[in-house]
Amino acid sequence: MIGSLLVDNIGELVTNAPRDGVADPLGLRRDAALLVEDGEVAWIGPARYAPAADRRIDAGGAAVLPGFVDSHAHLVFAGDRAAEFAARMAGEPYTGGGIRTTVGATRAATDDELRANVRRLRDEAMRQGTTTIEIKSGYGLTIADEARSLRIAAEFTGDTTFLGAHVVPAEYADRPDDYVGLVCGPMLAAAAPHARWIDVFCERGAFDADHARAILACGQAAGLGVRVHANQLGPGPGVRLGVELGAASVDHCTHLSDADVDALAGSATVATLLPGAEFSTRSPYPDARRLLDAGVTVALATDCNPGSSYTSSMPFCLALAVREMGMTPAEAVWAATAGGAAALRRADVGVLRPGARADLTILDAPSHLHLAYRPGVPLIRQVLHNGVPQ
Ligand SMILES: [Zn+2]
């Protein structure tokens, strides 16, 4: 029995649970307190009415918000690609081809090496306020290596994603149809028991619309939810394919036509923006303002991976979204918490209300505005995950 825990003296509480009739997506409350019992939020109200509890954390007038929900991360890999990053910054373009470098290192790694790397990055993310993280496979690209990647990912999260269709591996370069057959057949069969989602890199140089559709349909038939890497490097069919298949999220959304935006606006599919990738490839950012003004639900995530976005920091991505993508600080905070939860179709995280998971961060700041206002500053004072101080 852990007992109850009161987080008291909260200057500004972001709940993402607006009161009826109030136009305030963040559901802000001032001078609040929050009671945790059995890993869940049990009560929220004015600090002066706070109930007794077994333990108490004094937030000291600081801001408290739901833990970040990072709905897009590639954490199961070995090696790093710092030299490739340096070459890009010296003028070489990003093509996605470096994924194969990581595939080689990942196949050569032991389970324990992969597990240690996931733990290191998960812990790093947690220290920066992330309490829910999605983890993809996609650097194994054999039946055994994809299955073990997902088995290891599942030790750290329930939101595991089978990304056997990340890139066509070198040994199938001349026969992509055969590789799609492998992904849809024995690889999916080995991966599905360890996965909640299926994902495809639908892009020129990776998988075209026909291959992506076939792979996603097989995953759906195996009971997996759909996500798509879409429209990152150029215009393409990925976003509309994702919407058509009822994807929970289409991710990147950097190069969108009006038809893509209209399709998203009329759907339940979230547009997940990954500004760490544009930062790290020195590419134009997606236009979040255009999506928000069209009524699209927008999420922010890190895309943490060793090639195109080696950051685990949601605060960094949030600051980029505000500075470079036309989001207000409030919209960015919502997208990094409730937006991520929507992208994972999770109702228990990204929100603070009775019954939700007690996943929250206490900032070293009086307001959520400081996350974008003070970029690069370690503002996460304390993280509670399932009600447990980390
Ligand atoms: Zn990705």
Distance CA 370, CA 367 (A): 6
Ligand 1 centroid from CA 142, angstroms: 19
Ligand 1 centroid from CA 297, angstroms: 19
95-109, 234-248, 305-319: the lowest-pLDDT one: 95-109
Ligand 1 centroid from CA 307, angstroms: 10
What is the pLDDT, as a whole number, of residue 187? Answer: 98
Ligand 1 centroid from CA 148, angstroms: 19
Ligand 1 centroid from CA 19, angstroms: 35
Ligand 1 centroid from CA 289, angstroms: 22
> Is the pLDDT reported for residue 96 higher than 80?
no
Arithmetic mean of pLDDT over the chain = 96
What is the pLDDT, as a whole number, of residue 376? Answer: 95
Ligand 1 centroid from CA 221, angstroms: 23
Phi, psi (degrees; rounded to nearest 5) at 47: -55, -35
What is the pLDDT, as a whole number, of residue 97? Answer: 66
Using alpha carbons, list the distances in angstroms from residue 68 to 27, 188, 294, 361: 16, 30, 24, 8
CATH code, residues 68-343: 3.20.20.140
Ligand 1 centroid from CA 276, angstroms: 10
Radius of gyration of the chain (CA): 21
Ligand 1 centroid from CA 74, angstroms: 6
Q: Identify residue 377 by its one-letter amino acid code.
A: V
Distance CA 140, CA 283 (A): 27
Ligand 1 centroid from CA 331, angstroms: 22
Sheet holding 225-230, edge to edge: 135-136, 160-165, 197-202, 225-230, 249-252, 270-273, 298-300
Q: Of 342, 381, 380, 366, whose CA–CA distance to 69 is shortest?
A: 342
**Predicted confidence (pLDDT) per residue in 64-84, tens digit:** 999 999 999 999 999 999 999
What is the pLDDT, as a whole number, of residue 95? Answer: 67
Ligand 1 centroid from CA 72, angstroms: 6
DSSP 8-state secondary structure symbol assigned to residue 285: P
**Predicted confidence (pLDDT) per residue in 43-57, tens digit:** 999 999 999 999 999
Ligand 1 centroid from CA 198, angstroms: 12
> Is the pLDDT reported for residue 388 higher than 60?
yes
Ligand 1 centroid from CA 277, angstroms: 9
Ligand 1 centroid from CA 104, angstroms: 18
> Among residues of the chain, what percentage have pLDDT more than 70?
98
Of the pLDDT bands very low, low, confident and very high (cuts 50, 70, 90), residue 201 is very high
What number is the average pLDDT over the span 266-283?
Answer: 96
Which of the two residues, 19 and 296, has the higher pLDDT score? 296
What number is the average pLDDT over the span 251-279?
Answer: 97
**Residue ranges covered by each domain of the chain:** 5-66+350-389, 68-343
CB 177 within 8 A of CB 183: no
**Predicted confidence (pLDDT) per residue in 352-363, tens digit:** 999 999 999 999
Of the pLDDT bands very low, low, confident and very high (cuts 50, 70, 90), residue 372 is very high
> Is the pLDDT reported for residue 92 higher than 90?
no
Ligand 1 centroid from CA 63, angstroms: 31
> Is the pLDDT reported for residue 1 higher than 60?
no
Ligand 1 centroid from CA 112, angstroms: 23
Ligand 1 centroid from CA 200, angstroms: 9
* CATH top-level class of 5-66+350-389: mainly beta
What is the pLDDT, as a whole number, of residue 119? Answer: 98
SS3 for 302-357, per residue?
Answer: CCEECCCECCCCHHHHHHHHHHHCCCCHHHHHHHHHHHHHHHCCCCCCCCCCCCCE
**Whether pTM exceeds 0.95:** yes
Ligand 1 centroid from CA 67, angstroms: 21
DSSP 8-state secondary structure symbol assigned to residue 158: S
Ligand 1 centroid from CA 105, angstroms: 18
